[in-house]
Amino acid sequence: MMEMKRLTTESITFLMMKEKSKYSYSKEKPMFNVDEKREKHFSIPERSVLKISDTPQSVIFYNSLAHKRDTVVSVYVDSPFVIVRDPRGKIIPSQIDLFWTDRDSVSTDVYKVSFVMAIQALGICQYTIEKTHKLSTKKAVPSEITFYNSNMNMEHSSSVFTIKKSPSKPFSLENYYMKAGFSQATGLLQNITFKAEGITHPVSIKFVTYGTRKSSEKSGAYLFLPDGEGREVTIVDPFIHVIQGTVVSEVSVFVENVEHVVRLYNSPGADSLSLDIYNIVDIRDKLNFEMAMRVCSDIKSEDNSFHTDLNGFQMHRRKTYSKLPLQANYYPMPTAMFVENSQKRLNILSGQSLGAAYLKPGEMEVMLDRRLNQDDSRGLGQGVLDNKQTPNKFRLLLEIRKISPLLEMKNQVKPLSLLAHLTSLHLIHPLYVSPRNPDSSNIDLQLLPSFSSTLDGSSSGLTCDVHLLNLRTLQNKDDDPSLKFVPQNSAALILHRFSFDCDFPNLGLSCTIGNGKVDLNSLFKDIKLKDIRSTSLSLLYESNSSLSQSHLFIKPNDISAFKITPY
């Protein structure tokens, strides 16, 4: 994975160089670093730190989606006294945060800079970060930190950041769109309020654990045989720190076996309409122990039904049956699940494949990690004892219906809303961040029109309802050894059109809805296509007739593959 990130970073570097002939690859001193590094393949990634000097330092961003994005990004630097400039050289607002090395300790030489950026479809752009002699109160604003249940001493940072200790009272995070309320006792989410309507919706998060039954057949790698219902984790005086800022606000709660972080962004894009949840689960000190996150709300479906997705392609209606044991009501959740009623819908969008359930009315549950002593006689031959620190990423999206469903909701399979589709894409396909390597040679880099401009015919790339699954050159046959590693002059283009629920408002979108129409003339602005043919998804069979470049149509909830040949 890290080698693929390095390859992507080097490709971006080559495209961004003013003079391509000056590009040279250096494994020891690359021009740009990857955004993270790992000590071992199973380690929690460590973010690359940009060393700030009097010379402006470049950071390159790459958007792998075929839609424009307005989003919050974060870069790690070695000084809190910085300003950020966009590709046009204009100073933009930014937020400076402390970098936490442990639960109750911060780094004195690493800080986080967050700012809002706009990047075009499949675009590459360059921002610069400069050192200043003092912290600007207008453009670079330090965050405010509040501690709960802590005796932490932060005297060394008090001159830059506002740090205070608060008595036990409820607190909240908010942006222009919503306000999230948290419990002073546990630090966990309690409710969500939309500012436009002023109505508070009860949405809370809990953590539950399962053991294994005491019979001869116990839980293992393949079997889930709990010893009863999930037991809620008791949280007493947890260490909580709350960060309030103009760009991003967050709550970090440290409880037994899990570090729980909830972030709320403040941007014009879709990322500000949902809560970002990040958990680091560590159950290496437990035996026969399974941990899940439970999201509770007042949304109760009519017949105990809920929806999960099938491999990120389509949604499938599930139903909880009281006559079945608990484990029989758990289902796979590759990327999404939701529960709804006639007024609203609560989505859990996941960055990794997990198991999920809707065991009681209003309670959605996602399994986070499992550690089991014994083999379950299903072929593995051992227990599940190789646990590591496990990061989990989610987006919690609450949506209010703009129109009531025309038909009875019972027995209907409902797709995600368009906002949920795009939020899921942003979670699964984050921006590539490549900070400048200070040890590399000083080569002048400028933002040049590259592949991003060729896909910017209508300033939006593809329409919101069409997702670019893959675009790659085709391989020659291996019959001729001289052509074995030489690509063809053709490429495979694979597109997926979403099927989405129109009952919900399309907020925070920076693209339009095209109803399945794809115009490759605008998609490839500077590339003229000689031939376009539809093919099978395996790319083995193609049509005999060529297609019109401006009349491609993809049916809802369909994946279509095309073979394109440029002049």
The tens digit of pLDDT for each residue in 117-141 reads 999 888 888 899 998 877 666 788 9
| 437 and 518 share one domain | no
If DSSP codes are grouped into helix, strand and coil, which group holds residue 93?
coil
| DSSP alpha helix (H) spans, 306-378 | none
| Measured distance CA(433)–CA(36) in Å, rounded | 9
Instruction: For residue range 462-494, list pLDDT tens digits in order.
Output: 888 999 999 999 888 766 777 777 888 899 999
State both tokens at 557.
């909830």
Q: Which of 437, 566, 460, 449 is nearest to 514 (CA)?
A: 460
Asked whether residue 268 carries a pLDDT value surpassing 90, the answer given is yes
Q: Angle at CA 154, nearest 5°, toward 184 and 156?
A: 160
Q: Please give the tally of structural domains in the chain.
A: 2
- Confidence class of residue 419 from pLDDT cuts 50, 70 and 90? very high
| Measured distance CA(138)–CA(135) in Å, rounded | 9
- DSSP structural state of residue 236: -
Lowest pLDDT segment from 82-91, 329-338, 355-364, 365-374: 82-91
CB 337 within 8 A of CB 348: yes
CB 16 within 8 A of CB 447: yes
| 118 lies in some domain | yes
| 477 and 559 share one domain | yes
| 9 and 91 share one domain | yes
If DSSP codes are grouped into helix, strand and coil, which group holds residue 206?
strand
Q: What is the pLDDT of residue 456?
A: 45
| 369 lies in some domain | no
Q: Write the CATH number for 50.
A: 2.60.40.1180
| Measured distance CA(144)–CA(70) in Å, rounded | 24
| 180 lies in some domain | no
Q: What is the pLDDT of residue 452?
A: 36
Q: H-helix or E-strand containing 488? A: strand 487-497
| Measured distance CA(495)–CA(139) in Å, rounded | 40
Single out the residue in 452, 487, 518 at which a domain terminates.
Answer: 452
Asked whether residue 99 carries a pLDDT value surpassing 80, the answer given is yes
Q: What is the pLDDT of residue 517?
A: 85
| 444 and 537 share one domain | no
If DSSP codes are grouped into helix, strand and coil, which group holds residue 83?
strand
| 364 lies in some domain | no
Q: What is the pTM of this model?
A: 0.92
If DSSP codes are grouped into helix, strand and coil, which group holds residue 187?
coil
Q: What is the extent of the structural domain holding 470? A: 459-566
If DSSP codes are grouped into helix, strand and coil, which group holds residue 167?
coil
Give the contacts of 419 (CB within 8 A, at least 6 positions apart). 270, 273, 397, 399, 504, 505, 506, 507, 508, 509
Q: Which of 88, 91, 72, 87 is nearest to 136 (CA)?
A: 91
Q: Write the CATH number for 490.
A: 2.60.40.1360
Q: What is the pLDDT of residue 154?
A: 59
| 440 and 497 share one domain | no
Q: What is the pLDDT of residue 448?
A: 38
Distances (CA, A) of 555 to 66, 88, 103, 518, 558: 18, 40, 50, 11, 6
Q: What is the pLDDT of residue 457?
A: 36
Asked whether residue 57 carries a pLDDT value surpassing 50, the answer given is yes
| 37 lies in some domain | yes
| Measured distance CA(524)–CA(96) in Å, rounded | 38
Q: Whose structure tokens read 């984790």?
A: 233
| 416 lies in some domain | no
The secondary structure of 38-68 as a DSSP string is -SSTTSPPEE-EEPP-SS-EEEEEE--SSS-
| 38 and 108 share one domain | yes
Q: What is the pLDDT of residue 327?
A: 94
Q: What is the pLDDT of residue 411?
A: 67
Instruction: For residue range 215-228, list pLDDT tens digits in order.
Output: 889 999 999 999 99
CB 68 within 8 A of CB 459: yes
Instruction: For residue range 529-556, list pLDDT tens digits in order.
Output: 888 999 999 998 988 888 876 678 899 9
| 136 and 20 share one domain | yes
| 26 lies in some domain | yes
| 107 and 122 share one domain | yes
| 33 and 83 share one domain | yes
Q: Whose structure tokens read 């193609």?
A: 542
| 463 and 547 share one domain | yes
| 330 lies in some domain | no
**Cα 187 off chain centre by:** 23
| Measured distance CA(32)–CA(13) in Å, rounded | 7
| 71 and 105 share one domain | yes
Give the contacts of 76 (CB within 8 A, at least 6 positions apart). 47, 48, 49, 50, 99, 110, 111, 112, 113, 435
| 468 and 508 share one domain | yes
Asked whether residue 500 carries a pLDDT value surpassing 50, the answer given is yes
